[in-house]
Amino acid sequence: MALAVAHTSAVQAAGPNYAFPQHQTYKVGVMPSASQATRDAAVEKQYDSWKASYLVHGCASNEYYVSTKGDGDATNNGPVSEGQGYGMNIVPLMAGYDANAQAEFNGLWQLVKDHEDQYGMMQWQLDGKTCKYYSGGTPDGATDGDLDIGYGLILADKQWGGYSSDAKTWLSNFYAHNVAPDGHLKCEDDGPNTDTRPSDHMIDHLRAFAAYDPSHDWNKVITRTEAVDSSLVTNYSAANGLLPDFVVGANGTPKPAPANYQENQPDNIVGYNSIRVPWHMGTDALLNGATTAAFELSDAQKWSACAKKVSGGKPGNVYPHLNLNCTGQNTSDVAEEAGDSIGPSAMAAGDQAWTDTIWSFLQTNPYGDGYYGESIKTLVMIVMAGDYWSPASASTPPPPANDFSISASPASGSVSQGSSATVSVGTAVTAGSAESVALSASGLPTGATAGFSPASVNSGASSTLTVATSSSTPAGTYAITVTGTASSGSHSATYSLTVTTVGGGGGCTPAQLLVNPGFESGAATWTQTSTLGFTPITKATSAEPAHAGSYVAWFNGNGSKDTDTIAQSVTIPSGCSASLTYWLHIDTTEKTTTAKPDTFTVQVLNSSGTVLATVGSFSNLNAASGYSQKTADLSAYAGQTVTLKFTGSETDTSGGTTNSVIDDTSLTTS
């Protein structure tokens, strides 16, 4: 009987509780000899590559999926539940490094919710364009993907909070339909109670389920799973600890399945499924130690030794197909992920040289493997870097201390000597509860005074700052610091004030008027919007690097219809010439040489939001490698307060996608 469940809506939190990197001390084994900083940096580089290649914003505007690009596991490079589970594990573990991690996780989870089968598990195989189930028969789920999705929900709940109901509903459905009566894991939710697949035996996941969900007997699942694996090793691979791709008789006396039992490969030996076993065995041993994970540690040690022997100590020669006596069944077939997966077992076995060799191998992709190998590599690297924390042992952090933010709007203004400027000073609660914030200003020019109305506010409220100049205040541009002080501490915002001589005097003080022009303070002083909810100002990546520094404004590139904007209000003093410059990079996968489905514009607006002029107009046809500097003359707006607005628009009508990236903006007067 299928139950209709109302899932909770996507949640947002102030920040991650376990921001990457989370340096762990594992209970057994060795770490790679490379320094912790080197390992962390390698994980970040791999994550950036994985995300740019496989994390797709689609099919719906609020969905993400992990593309099977490079492996052909779904039509049009669509998602499978296994890949979706990998993504829902990777992204929470990288939160903190990836500022958009929670939005991406919510998109991954949304796609799962939108494509559940009759038992509440994910339909295991979807088309990349329509996201419709396309495999034969009634839609069903696959145990490995559904395990990882459940584990990902627990990670997310520990990382950000707010996913408990969804996680427990998922685990309840999984237990009801993926666990056989005797406690072993079935291969799929609508499959028989007689078979199992050792690559699904993620014991560290099951231990986390047991700690998180005491309403189901997960310890029974752990016990039976270990018994099945132990029986197989004892009877079929005692010296080497190898487990076949599929197992029959799991509810009695388990034995390797016949060749080609479920897939068109020799399912009775190690194949592309069971190459994942040493990764899972080793990880459980590292996290849980020699007592709790005694069988897993023993098996990891055996598997590591077998792989080292059969490959001659070269991870690239760990064959994807191994006979259970540790000989190569097909020595012409090679795959990156076969060698990658040995890493955690080599660590658990305490083999330092072999661990270091595998760590070095992880920095390569010698066979050009696609999503499967690169996703496994990303998770294995997180484990080997020492950054893989278990939600089973992660304590819930205390409630956040009170904190707030402060902002000034507009961020800049201009007055003549003897006149006043007003600024709206806003505050917001960023953690905990509202508190009293006292306001002050510093950095005033000679002869100027500042007053706040009111002088203090509760965080979440606003005040008006009036800066009054005198006739003797020197002309020039001044950075005035607006500070809010509360019991939790102090925060500041900057207001740029340009003072001009009375009547303009025919002169101009040269200045750069934009605040936070290179986005290095994030979104500070800029307003931004996105129809898909992925605001442009973000940390640069290896796929879209900065022109300088660490941040960019990145518009579109989601493969879906989207409009992104950023804007800043600025006052151009009278009597000045003004020049806007910015560095622009456009790349695209659009194939057209004439159509412009994706555009990028730069506009000047008045205080009412009316467009005064479009001073920059680009499209997918302007794609080129690297950045180029663009310039626009804004002298016509001297003496006015205007808004500069950058807009990226993607229609997704031609099948491709376009990224428009800007950095290092500047509005200079002379």
Give the CA-trace dihedral at 548, 552, 553, 554, to 10 degrees.
120
Amino acid code (one letter) for 115? H
CA 375 to chain centre: 13
Both structure tokens of 511: 């200045």
**HSE value, Cβ hemisphere, 13 Å, CA-based, for 257:** 24
Give the 3-state secondary structure of residue 178.
Answer: helix
Give the 3-state secondary structure of residue 662.
Answer: strand
Task: Report strand pairing: 489-500 vs 449-453.
Answer: unpaired
Amino acid code (one letter) for 532? L
- Examine the residue annotation and report whether 144 is marked as an active-site residue of this protein: yes
* Rounded Cα gap, residues 81 and 122, in angstroms: 6
* Rounded Cα gap, residues 447 and 132, in angstroms: 69
Specify whether the CB–CB gap between 598 and 657 falls below 8 A: yes
Provide the residue count of the chain.
Answer: 670
Both structure tokens of 522: 């994030």
* Rounded Cα gap, residues 334 and 440, in angstroms: 66
Contacting residues for 576 by C-beta, under 8 A, at least 6 apart: 508, 635, 638, 669, 670
Amino acid code (one letter) for 205? H
Active-site annotation holder among 144, 148, 166, 267: 144
Active-site annotation holder among 63, 82, 403, 663: 82
Task: Report strand pairing: 449-453 vs 420-431.
Answer: unpaired
- Examine the residue annotation and report whether 229 is marked as an active-site residue of this protein: no
User: Treating both helix axes as pointing N-terminal to C-terminal, what angle do 164-178 and 203-212 enclose, rounded to 10 degrees?
Assistant: 120
Contacting residues for 371 by C-beta, under 8 A, at least 6 apart: 53, 54, 66, 67, 68, 69, 70, 71, 73, 83
How buried is 596 (Cβ within 10 angstroms: 0-12 exposed, 13-18 middle, 19+ buried)? middle
Specify whether the CB–CB gap between 127 and 78 falls below 8 A: yes
Residues serving a catalytic function are: 82, 144
